[in-house]
Amino acid sequence: MSATVGTTGARTAPRPAMATYALLDLRRQLRDRFGMFFVVGLPTFMYLVFGLGSDDPVGSGNVAMYVMVSMAAYGAVTATTSAAGSAATEQLMGWGRQLGLTPVRPLGFVVAKAAVAMAVAAVPVALVFALGAATGARGDWTDWTLAAAIAWLGSALFAIYGLAVCLVLRGTNAPGIASGMIVVMAFLGNVFSPIDGLLLDIGRLTPLYGYAALARFPLTDGRLPVGGQDPLWLPVANVLAWTVIFSLLAVWGVRRSRART
């Protein structure tokens, strides 16, 4: 990639290949109006159905805020999974081998996809939190700040998840499979409705449980709606373990897609 010359005659530094790829991919994602409407509209609708007007106390806030954080987290996860899922189409078109001819390395490709997904995830988090603030969600200012930050930053795990599923399965139905599994994980992850007993024990091992629990931790301090309390190390360990697993799968999938047959 060559340097460009500005209007003043000064030569500007070339943009790194990974940054250029990420910028182009972000523009493409934001131009998908139907996809963006689905990503933003679904968590918003779910908050209005389950959280609007719910003023019963939960932790340092109320039920409306509990639902708001859960739906914002779900929206962020849906956004990052969908954005990273575009890798499936790219691989089927041979885009992986094209990138193999550029300075973008496998790890750089994973980072670029995660960055784009994070930018898209900021939209549903911001909208759901703004709607909650306008409709009676209540909590300490630290609850709002930390919950929003964790919901947004933690969704990076599912950008890597979406990328890993699409690269490993390598089929046109891979994005649908990745998105469908998110719905199942949301139920097991205690996002849509409280679970207990054996189902809760199983849910604690699933990827979405730790992420959602961390996002709500500033509000609930780990207390569960059905009783009991999760120590902080449990959701942290869950997130770290699944981050390693999905990252290894994603990098392996990229390398396999570039291999010549």
- C-beta separation of 47 from 140 below 8 A: no
Query: Tokens at residue 5, please?
Result: 């010359």
Residue 260 has pLDDT above 60, yes or no: no
> Minimal CA–CA distance to 41: which of 75, 65, 82?
75
- Around Cβ 211, how many Cβ atoms within 10 Å? 30
Let me know if residue 21 belongs to a domain.
Answer: yes
Let me know if residue 34 belongs to a domain.
Answer: yes
Which residues constitute the domain of residue 51?
A: 16-256
| Interaxial angle between packed helices 233-258 and 106-134, expressed in degrees from 0 to 180 and rounded to the nearest 10 | 140
Residue 6 has pLDDT above 50, yes or no: no
Which pLDDT value is given to residue 257?
Answer: 67
- Within 13 A of 75's CA, how many CA atoms are on the CB side? 31
The shares of helix, strand and coil residues in the chain, as percent rounded to the nearest 5, are 70, 5, 25
Let me know if residue 201 belongs to a domain.
Answer: yes
Beta-carbon contacts of residue 68 (< 8 Å; ≥ 6 apart): 47, 51, 128, 129, 131, 132, 137
Let me know if residue 84 belongs to a domain.
Answer: yes
Let me know if residue 119 belongs to a domain.
Answer: yes
Per the listing, tokens 């689905």 go with 38
Amino acid at 161: Y
Taking the whole predicted model, whether its pTM rises above 0.75 is answered as yes
Let me know if residue 3 belongs to a domain.
Answer: no
Confidence label for 36 from pLDDT (cuts 50, 70 and 90): confident
d(CA 53, CA 55): 6
Beta-carbon contacts of residue 99 (< 8 Å; ≥ 6 apart): 21, 109, 258
Query: Tokens at residue 15, please?
Result: 């943009």
* Number of domains comprising the chain: 1
d(CA 140, CA 245): 35
**Tell me, what DSSP letter sits at residue 100?**
T
Taking only the tens place, the pLDDT of each residue in 158-182 is 988 988 888 888 777 888 888 889 9
d(CA 203, CA 39): 24
Better-scored residue on pLDDT, 150 or 85:
150
Let me know if residue 187 belongs to a domain.
Answer: yes
- Around Cβ 159, how many Cβ atoms within 10 Å? 30
**Tell me, what DSSP letter sits at residue 10?**
P
| Mean pLDDT on 119-140 | 93
- C-beta separation of 70 from 148 below 8 A: no
Residue 82, CA distances (Å) to 58, 95, 225 in order: 31, 18, 30
Which pLDDT value is given to residue 25?
Answer: 76
Confidence label for 1 from pLDDT (cuts 50, 70 and 90): very low
Q: How far is CA 51 from the centre of its chain?
A: 21
